[in-house]
Copies of this chain bind each other. A is one copy, B any other.
Amino acid sequence: MLTLHGYYRSSASFRVRIALNLKGLEVAHISHHLRRNEQRAPEFLALNPQGLVPALQTDDGQVLLQSMAIIEYLDETHPSPALLPGDAAGRARVRALADLIACDIHPIDNLRVLRYLRTEMGQDEDAIQRWYNHWIAEGFAALEPLLASGPSGAFCHGDAPGLADICLVPQVVNSQNYKLDLSPFPTISRIYEACLALPAFAQAMPGQQPDAE
């Protein structure tokens, strides 16, 4: 069986949970409490020197790192249902939508970055909130027209959920941390609701995890 090293509040772990659910794959979960720095324990650093979750261990002991690389691996080794379109142009579009979130929004708002702003730069909670929402709003402002002008359908790229939806949903959940106003982003909101109607997404939500507090 696969083993996912994750944490209920980790957005990148959340992405992998959705992908595993969409693929119908069974997985054992090992939780690493990020706010207690459990991901920096020597046993976990031996698996992943970056000290970040998620990491996915396969049956043969391979350790896969980085959520986007893990999801591409799951899609290649368990092709159905596909998380990427069948054509190269479609795949490029979906990967670009996903990377807009995974590269240009999420890492800048990550826990370790917020910690640095607090401890090394002495920023208060108001400044952290403005920072956090600034990067989501800037990213969503680009994502919204890209999604609205795409192929019709309930999801980011037509009528089936895929890699872009897998990135979008955790980012929308994060946008609720500091109550970002989502009214300028009707397409994002519509797709988010469509995803949450699917058990694969709903059951991957942070509050549904056994390590949720």
Contacts and interface: CB of A to CB of B under 8 A. Distances in A.
Given A73-B91, A145-B49, A134 B121 contact: no
A33 interface: no
Interface stretch (A96-104, A152-160, A182-190, A198-206): A96-104
Interface residues of A, number: 47
A69 B95 contact: yes
A202 to B, nearest CB: 26
Nearest to A123: B121
A196 interface: no
A80 interface: no
Q: Which of A76, A102, A107, A116 has the most CB of B within 10 A?
A: A107
Interface of A: 48-52, 62, 64-66, 68-70, 72-73, 76-77, 88-89, 91-93, 95-96, 98-100, 102-104, 106-108, 113, 116-117, 120-121, 123, 127, 130-131, 134, 139, 141-142, 145-146
A116 B134 contact: yes
B146 A96 contact: no
Most buried by B among A52, A69, A76: A69
A48 B73 CA distance: 29
A120 to B, nearest CB: 7
Contacts of A106: 103
Nearest to A142: B50
B95 A49 contact: no
10 contacts: A49-B141, A50-B146, A65-B96, A65-B100, A65-B146, A69-B95, A69-B96, A72-B91, A72-B92, A121-B131
Contacts of A77: 88
